[in-house]
Structure formats: structure tokens, C-alpha cells
Amino acid sequence: MIPILFLATLCLGVVSAAPTHDPSLDAEWHEWKTQHGKTYVMDEEGQKRAVWENNRKMIELHNEDYTKGKHGFHLEMNAFGDLTNTEFRQLMTGFQSMGTTEMNVFQEPRLGDVPKSVDWRKHGYVTPVKDQGSCGACWAFSAVGSLVGQMFWKTGKLVPLSEQNLVDCSWSHGNIGCHGGLMQNAFQYVMDNGGLDTSESYPYESRNTTCRYNPENSAANVTGFVKIPANEYSLMKAVAIVGPISAAIDTKHHSFQFYRGGMYYEPECSSSNLDHAVLVVGYGEESDGRKYWLVKNSWGTYWGMNGYIKMARDRNNNCGIATYAMYPTV
């Protein structure tokens, strides 16, 4: 496995300049606050407003460039509008690398062609998009996503599994609840634990709570997990043959925070410094030949395209989509 370097920063983003506001945006600011149910204490509002105005400007500039054809995707103001990119990353991601481990490696079948496009949502492998909230549990959503898919493959039943069970109970396997984790640790936990509860019996709470695993409510087993070789061709084969695959990406950019639609490509993206875990549910190609990965996020349905993003495919592993991809065996 390629070692991934990732350092969690523990300091909150600070807006250095004294906040100044554009009064012409007052109405829009109030509307945005109402729409997203935001309330601030007095001395907090000025700073939040300044951040929001900054983000708004950045989105506007990006979208102007988009209409000129300089970007393949557009942005939109959303519920994350009052977070600096630094704050956002701390709250909303949560993928942490913890060194290297021995893992089984995906043995590529010697098949000739794989399909030109795949979308596992059409075959019943994928549950609705969820919202991880202000808790860095992306790793749990990603792990559950590929496990649910493999259980569907095995049993023909799509049973949503409990991310909260992983958040609360896999600390001994190296995960740190809302502060981050790794999918491989989650799979190892399910394996050692001998099960994982359904999300109906153990619902998501977006915070660390005490472990309440109940074997009677378990709906999954894991027998091992498989790492995909870190290249996009192998990932394509795995997605085509296995089902939805857990992956990690670099989302440390404004463009990701406010992504709304189109083909995401971020030249600033790293392929090794990954901070967020997602689920690759398919891939395809636009009529103009641009190839993409179909990626499920865990930031609710208001983000992106109903919670999904199309990420550039075969563009030099942009944002590291193929760097840390894996699935559990069941």
C-alpha cells in the first residue's frame, strides 16, 4: 500500500482582517441564515458574515469562469457557507491515515473488456445518501457503503447498516470516532466483532456515544478486505466486477466544499494527501468523451448532484480516487 501522509490540524481557521460587510448583501445574508437555520451569538455573527461573503465571492468568480468554459463544474452557496475551508475540513471529513498494513490485493480477473459505464444504483446496491453532520465519520459511511453493497450481492437484500455502530465501537481498532478513521479498521472491527448492526436498530447520531452493539441486530459479516492496486484501470475493473468500492480523496479545496454539478477536476488536488472517504458507485463517459467516476458522498442530498459528484476519470488519478480503494469480502 502507498503510505499516505496526512496531518490533522487542530487549530481553527481564523479570519485575520477585521470583518467588513457589504451592506447590499444584508437581505441575502438573512435569507441564507433563515434557510439553513443559522443563529449566532452577537460577537460570532460578524466573523461568520465575513466568511460567508468571502465564499460567496469565490463561488461567483468560479461560476463566471465556468460560463466562459474554464471549468467543467459549477459551484453553489450551501449550508457550509459560513465555514472557512479549514473549519470545513475539520468538521466534515475525517479520513485519517495510520501507517501501512498488510492487505490482500485485488487480483484482476483476466477478463477482456469491462463495460464502458457502470452505475450500481440501478441494480439495487446503493442506499439513499446520508448526512454525516458535524462529525468526521466519512470513513464509517464509506465502509458501510461498500459493505452494504457486498451484502446485497450475497443475500439479494439491501439492508442499511449502522455507521454509528462503527463510530462508537471501533476505537480499539484504531478509529477515533468523529475525529476520523480508516475503512480498513472498520472492516477489521466487523470481522473481529462478528457482525454489524442495522442502522434501523442503531441509528446515526453524528456524535461519539458509547458502544451499544447488539448481536441480535446484526445484518452483516466480513471475512476480509481487499485493496485495489492504486491505479484507475484497476479501480475500474474492481467497480465493474465487485460493486461499489470504498475510496479516499483529497477534498481540501473550496471547489469541493461548494461543488454543485458538472465534472469535478481540481488541478490543485493531491493524489496522496487524502482527507475524505467516499463510495465509488460507478463510472462512465460523457457524450463529449470526458470520463468520470460516479461518487457518493455523505454530506446530504443538498450538496452536489443530489449528494453525488462526478469526478474526472483517467486524468492522472485526480484527487487520489484510486490511491486507497478497497472493499470487504463477505
Ligand X SMILES: *[C@@H]1O[C@H](CO)[C@@H](O)[C@H](O)[C@H]1NC(C)=O
Binding to ligand X (CB under 6 A) within 220-279 occurs at 220-221
CA distance 70 to 74: 10
Q: How far is the CB of 157 from ligand X (least distance, A)?
A: 10
CB nearer to ligand X: pick between 195 and 320: 195
Asked if 190 is part of the footprint of ligand X (rule: CB under 6 A), the reply reads no
Q: How far is the CB of 302 from ligand X (least distance, A)?
A: 21
Task: Check if 297 is active-site.
Answer: yes
Binding mask 123-142 vs ligand X (x if CB under 6 A, - otherwise)?
A: ------------x-------
Q: 297, 317, 318, 319: which is the annotated catalytic residue?
A: 297
C-beta of residue 145 within 8 angstroms of C-beta of residue 296: yes
Looking at 137, 176, 182, 321, which residue binds ligand X (CB under 6 A)?
176
C-beta of residue 189 within 8 angstroms of C-beta of residue 230: no
Residue with the three cell numbers 469491462: 114
CA distance 83 to 12: 10
**Which segment (7-15, 48-56, 97-105, 214-222) binds ligand X by CB under 6 A?**
214-222
Q: How far is the CB of 176 from ligand X (least distance, A)?
A: 6
CB nearer to ligand X: pick between 62 and 179: 179
C-beta of residue 152 within 8 angstroms of C-beta of residue 158: yes
Task: Check if 63 is active-site.
Answer: no
Q: 71, 253, 254, 276: which is the annotated catalytic residue?
A: 276
CA distance 131 to 136: 11
Q: Rounded to 5 degrees, what are φ and ψ at 247?
A: -145, 165
Task: Check if 276 is active-site.
Answer: yes
Q: How far is the CB of 166 from ligand X (least distance, A)?
A: 13
Q: How far is the CB of 154 from ligand X (least distance, A)?
A: 8
Binding to ligand X (CB under 6 A) within 66-85 occurs at none
Which residues 6+ apart lie within 8 Å of 82 measured at CB? 38, 48, 49, 51, 52, 55
Asked if 301 is part of the footprint of ligand X (rule: CB under 6 A), the reply reads no
**Which segment (15-23, 172-180, 283-291, 294-302) binds ligand X by CB under 6 A?**
172-180
Looking at 47, 63, 86, 208, which residue binds ligand X (CB under 6 A)?
208
CB nearer to ligand X: pick between 121 and 207: 207
Looking at 218, 246, 270, 297, which residue binds ligand X (CB under 6 A)?
218
Asked if 198 is part of the footprint of ligand X (rule: CB under 6 A), the reply reads no
Q: Rounded to 5 degrees, what are φ and ψ at 327?
A: -150, 155
CB nearer to ligand X: pick between 218 and 323: 218
CB nearer to ligand X: pick between 283 and 299: 299
Residues interacting with ligand X, by CB under 6 A?
135, 176-179, 194-195, 207-208, 218-221
Point out the residues that are catalytic. Answer: 138, 276, 297
